[in-house]
Amino acid sequence: MPTVQVRLTAGFEEARRIADLLEDAFELEGFPVTLEETPAYSNVWTVFALVLDSEPGEAIERVIDVLGADAFGLEPQATVLDEGTNWIALSEEIRHPVQAGRFFVHGSHDRIRRPPTGQSIEIDAELAFGTGHHATTWACLAALDRLFKKDRYARPLDLGTGTGLLAIAIARVLRVKVLATDIDPVAVTIARGNVRLNGVGGLVECLVADGMRARRLMEQAPYDLVVANILARPLMRLAAPVARTLAPRATVVLSGLRTSDAPKVLAAWRMQGLHLDDAIERDDWMALILRNSRA
C-alpha cells in the first residue's frame, strides 16, 4: 500500500488548530504532520499529513474522521507519494538542526546537539516562516555570516521577520539594537517569544508593519543593514521606499526569490542606486547582497 500526503489550506489560526488535531490523532501511528506557509509570507498556510499504507480516498476519510464531517469547511487533497522513499525518516530529517556558517538553528528537541562554539539559535518549526530549513532563510544566514566576517553595522532592519530568526542572528553577533517588522501580527507575536527565548529581548524590537509604512521605521532610519526575506514582487515594490531610508554604503540582503527572478529584482534595486556585491544560491533560490552606491 502506498503513502499518501493529505493537505488542507487555511488561514494560520485554523491551520494550526487542524495540525494540532491531526498530530494528536496520528501520534501513536507515527504519521508526521507539518504546517507551512505556502508560499512564504502569503498568510496562507497548508497542513500536510502523511498517511502510510493507504489509498487516497481512505487517507482523506481518516483525516475527515478526525476533523469532523465538514472538515472545517475545507476540501482535503491527496497525493500518492513515491513508494521508494521513507517519508517518516525524511520528515524527521527536515526537523534536524541547520548549520549556516557560524549559525546553528535547532528546535527545542535538539538542544543537546548544540555545538560548543558558534551561535546556536532555538526556533521551533511549524509556527511561522523562517526556521532555517528553507533555502531562502539558509541563504540569508549564510550571507550574514559572510558579511559579519568583514563588516560592522549599527542600525539593522529585518523586514518581514517571520519567526525573528534573522533579527536574532544579527543581534547575537553584533550586540546592537535591531528593528524587526512583519505584516502578520501572529508572526510578530511568535518573533517576540523567540527573541526572548534566545536572550536578545533587550536588543530586538518587533512590530507590525506593512512594508515601510510605520512611523517607527522612519524614526530609526537611516539603516546601514537591511535584510528582507520575502518574495520577488514585494522586493521589487520595496526598492524605492527602502532605498530612501538607507545610510551611505549601506548593505541590503534580499532573499525569497527564485534564481530566475534575480535579474528583474536586481534591476529594480539598481534603479535606486544599489549594486550587486555578492550572491548566494541554493536549490534554485537566491540571496542577493547589495551595496548602496549613493554617498
Please tell me whether residue 152 adopts helix, strand or coil conformation: coil
The answer to whether the annotation marks 84 as part of a ligand binding site is no
130 assigned to a ligand binding site: no
Cβ atoms of 156 and 227 within 8 Å: the answer is yes
Per DSSP, the residues of 13-58 read HHHHHHHHHHHHHHTTTT--EEEEESSTTSS-EEEEEEESS--HHH
Q: Is 43 annotated as a binding residue?
A: no
R_g of the chain computed on alpha carbons: 20
Amino acid at 176: V
160 is in an annotated binding site: yes
Choose among 138, 190, 180, 137: nearest CA to 155. 180
Contact call for residues 194 and 286 (beta carbons, < 8 A): no
One-character DSSP codes across 239-270? HHHHHTTEEEEEEEEEEEEEGGGHHHHHHHHH
Annotated binding site for S-adenosyl-L-methionine: 137, 160, 182, 229
Binding-site residue ranges: 137, 160, 182, 229
